[in-house]
Structure 1
């Protein structure tokens, strides 16, 4: 069992700056093995939070990046052909449930609803996973937990979780950190001084005010780290910001000019 989970163990502490009481709340949820849902904008730290908590709790973490082509078999497993004939290969959800890992389904609304319903028996008092193709009922390991995440800003009637899914989870809301906390994160992760990080965060705050007024999404903390990393590699700040902050989020010439002006204000 340990050999199978070795590659999923978080061996080094992932850097994470708590924003409120999310660490304590998650620890309580894990103690109860409550399935958890993390909601927040792209690049605000949801995945890093899960990695940090897996490290803090000493539990292996199996991460699945959900997409619209993902099938139930991709989560559960399938029979494969090899030299010996056919053999069953557990999918990531089955492996996590069987061996006692945290299974993190990232951006779960990207998956089809007929795929995501397979988690239902694992996220109530039954804590079982039926493998119909194999004729097996997997009883979840005592250490197993399901965590899902998504960006509510991209919700639509066609792409949202069913209420029957949502109500099986506890939920934590995530957002971009306050200015001082985000500055520390960008300085640490990007390898720059806090003066540079402070200016980058100020640019991001200007851009986030434009969300819904020409921008679909603001500049994320992840993008700020990219810009800081470039600056740390001796790329000129204006070029780094254009490359990592402005060009990725809009193709509109007027919006690009507005964001470039915000960059020149601080650099």
Structure 2
């Protein structure tokens, strides 16, 4: 559920606009940040890159519907001497001055996510009720959340009272030349074939809402490119990495298979 990152190597991130400068401004003001966008478009990579750029440790939490407030804040554990308190990832980040990244926060229950509210206003506090402690966040602490608006529903959405505590970035898949550059840079695939992969992705994205819940992500393009660099036939790499993971519909699979044949034929 939790991943802590202290990386010495800068994660590769290709800006699409002025989001780097805007995030730096948000961090300088210690404003909580919301990042919205489709699956695999680079939201998490952006946060990793910004944490590295700002020289802050990053604690990432993959949210899910079974996650409780104690999973975020902490709990008492039994040990040989009786009980001991163990900080959760949110508490740990607030103590250390890390960036805490709650990935796909709408997957968590609303009664769990309300625990972040005191950290997202002028108080910058986290009540540890079970421990009887009021934790004042480290001056360098920042809270970042992300989610995919395409999966929103009445049952899975953030409360307005939560949304209005954040400044927000809207992400989408990069423009075709930039996306091809990203795929090539990430994998070493030549620019021409990276551009062909992006063509396939754009064709699939046109089917979103017409049989596909979600289009082919940049992440999947990187997977396909890695297979191709490893010697896999382009058509087979595309079917394996781009088509089969996103649909079981025979007609859509056939349509995308024809697109692959046309692009790489």
Gap runs ≥5 in structure 1: 1-6
Question: Deviation at 1:250?
Answer: 0.4
SS at match of 1:153: helix
- The yes-or-no answer on 1:238 pairing with 2:225 is no
* Alignment correspondent of 1:100: 97
Question: Deviation at 1:82?
Answer: 1.1
TM-score (structure 1 length as normaliser)? 0.97
* Alignment correspondent of 1:73: 70
Question: Deviation at 1:190?
Answer: 2.2
Match of 2:129 among 125, 129, 132: 132
| Cα shift readout 1:196-216 (whole Å, capped 9, x = no counterpart) | 100000000000011011111
Match of 1:158 among 155, 158, 161: 155
| Cα shift readout 1:213-241 (whole Å, capped 9, x = no counterpart) | 11110000000000000001101111100
> How far apart, CA to CA, are the structure 1 residues paired with 2:196 and 2:54?
35
Question: Deviation at 1:189?
Answer: 1.2
SS at match of 1:133: coil
| Cα shift readout 1:156-198 (whole Å, capped 9, x = no counterpart) | 0110000000000000000000111100110111221111100
* Alignment correspondent of 1:27: 24
TM-score (structure 2 length as normaliser)? 0.98
* Alignment correspondent of 2:201: 204
Post-superposition, which runs of at least 4 consecutive aligned residues in structure 1 deviate over 4 A?
Answer: none
Match of 2:142 among 142, 145, 149: 145
SS at match of 1:172: strand
> How far apart, CA to CA, are the structure 2 residues paired with 1:233 and 1:121?
49
1:10 and 1:61 in contact (8 A); partners too = no
Alignment RMSD: 0.7
Gap runs ≥5 in structure 2: none
> How far apart, CA to CA, are the structure 1 residues paired with 2:207 and 2:255?
10
Question: Deviation at 1:154?
Answer: 0.2
- The yes-or-no answer on 1:265 pairing with 2:262 is yes
What are the equivalent positions in structure 2 for 1:215-254 lying under 5 Å apart? 215-254=212-251
> How far apart, CA to CA, are the structure 2 residues paired with 1:196 and 1:141?
47
Question: Deviation at 1:9?
Answer: 1.5
Match of 1:53 among 50, 54, 57: 50
Match of 1:111 among 103, 108, 112: 108
Question: Deviation at 1:10?
Answer: 2.4
Question: Deviation at 1:253?
Answer: 0.3
What are the equivalent positions in structure 2 for 1:165-180 lying under 5 Å apart? 165-180=162-177
Match of 2:41 among 31, 39, 44: 44
